[in-house]
């Protein structure tokens, strides 16, 4: 990371960074805040949540609006990360992503400096790669995914759009995980298996099935 120039205050350095807004103010948002702060590319301009939480703070960042304010907020803060969690269904994250795309939002990839992503891997827009993740060569991760703390995505695996690979999960080499799937904490997939779209793989399970 490039340090600040002589004579610049920390506040001046923060003002030079691009700003980002976070959509969803629950527990997953708090974990995302920490990753964004550690990465250091963006300043968090605020959080969008339900109307009754407006002006509340999450880890020191204000809730600056609700869904009804998104069109106006995007004019000032086009960079967005969806920080709504995903366990039972990807539907709400998908709806938000598509709505925000239509009104001009930009979706940077957020990657913890404590993660390792191979230069031979691909990560698509709106995905967050959290602390201590390992994504190996040839892997491909789609858009608007959560690759959660300490997950392993091995060589040539494919994680399609709108998936949540949960904490400590192991996606072995050549596995394909269909869009909208949840892969639970500590779950392990046998290599070169295909997991259908919108699957729910429970925590600590071993997935063996193959479509071959």
Window from 9-13, 98-102, 106-110, 158-162 with minimum mean pLDDT: 9-13
For the record, the structure tokens of 71 come out as 């069109």
Look up the CATH number of the domain holding residue 19: 3.40.50.20
C-alpha 37/C-alpha 86 separation (Å) is: 22
Q: What is the 3-state secondary structure (H, E, C) of 133-169?
A: CEECCCCEECCCCEECCCCEECCCCEECCCCEECCCC
Residue 201 is classified by DSSP as: E
Same domain, 97 and 113: no
Asked whether residue 97 is domain-assigned, the answer is yes
Asked whether residue 89 is domain-assigned, the answer is yes
Task: Identify the pLDDT of residue 15.
Answer: 60
Same domain, 31 and 93: yes
On the question of pLDDT at 211 being above 90, the answer is: no
Among the listed residues 193, 170, 180, the one whose alpha carbon sits nearest the alpha carbon of residue 88: 180
Q: Convert the pLDDT of each residue in 181-207 to its tens digit.
A: 999 999 999 999 999 999 999 999 999
> In the structure, what pLDDT confidence band is assigned to residue 87 with cuts at 50, 70 and 90?
confident
Which has more confidence, 12 or 162?
Answer: 162
Asked whether residue 1 is domain-assigned, the answer is no
On the question of pLDDT at 38 being above 70, the answer is: yes
Same domain, 20 and 48: yes
Q: Convert the pLDDT of each residue in 89-147 to its tens digit.
A: 999 999 999 999 999 999 999 999 999 999 999 999 999 999 999 999 999 999 999 99
Same domain, 195 and 113: yes
> In the structure, what pLDDT confidence band is assigned to residue 210 with cuts at 50, 70 and 90?
low
Look up the CATH number of the domain holding residue 184: 2.160.10.10
Number of folded domains in the chain?
2
On the question of pLDDT at 170 being above 60, the answer is: yes
C-alpha 179/C-alpha 145 separation (Å) is: 9
Same domain, 128 and 158: yes
Asked whether residue 2 is domain-assigned, the answer is no
Asked which of 77, 102, 127 is the last residue of a domain, the reply is 102
The most distant pair of C-alpha atoms in the chain lies apart, rounded to whole Å, by 62
Asked whether residue 7 is domain-assigned, the answer is no
C-alpha 158/C-alpha 160 separation (Å) is: 6
Q: Which domain holds residue 144?
A: 109-201
Asked whether residue 207 is domain-assigned, the answer is no
């Amino acid at each position: 990371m490039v340090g600040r120039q002589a004579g610049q205050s920390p506040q001046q350095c923060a003002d030079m960074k691009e700003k980002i807004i976070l959509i969803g103010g629950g527990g997953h948002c708090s974990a995302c805040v920490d990753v964004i702060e550690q990465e250091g590319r963006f300043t968090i301009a605020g959080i969008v949540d339900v109307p009754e939480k407006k002006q509340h703070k999450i880890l020191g960042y204000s809730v600056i609006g609700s869904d009804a304010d998104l069109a106006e907020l995007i004019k000032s803060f086009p960079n967005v990360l969806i920080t709504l969690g995903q366990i039972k269904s990807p539907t709400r994250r998908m709806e938000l992503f598509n709505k925000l795309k239509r009104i001009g939002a930009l979706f940077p990839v957020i990657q913890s400096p404590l993660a390792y992503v191979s230069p031979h891997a691909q990560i698509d827009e709106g995905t967050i790669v959290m602390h201590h993740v390992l994504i190996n060569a040839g892997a491909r991760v789609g858009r608007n995914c959560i690759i959660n703390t300490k997950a392993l995505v091995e060589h040539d695996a494919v994680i399609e759009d709108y998936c949540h690979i949960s904490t400590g999960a192991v996606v072995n080499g050549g596995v394909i995980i269909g869009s909208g799937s949840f892969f639970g904490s500590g779950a392990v997939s046998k290599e070169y298996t295909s997991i259908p779209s919108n699957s729910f793989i429970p925590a600590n399970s071993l997935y063996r099935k193959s479509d071959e």
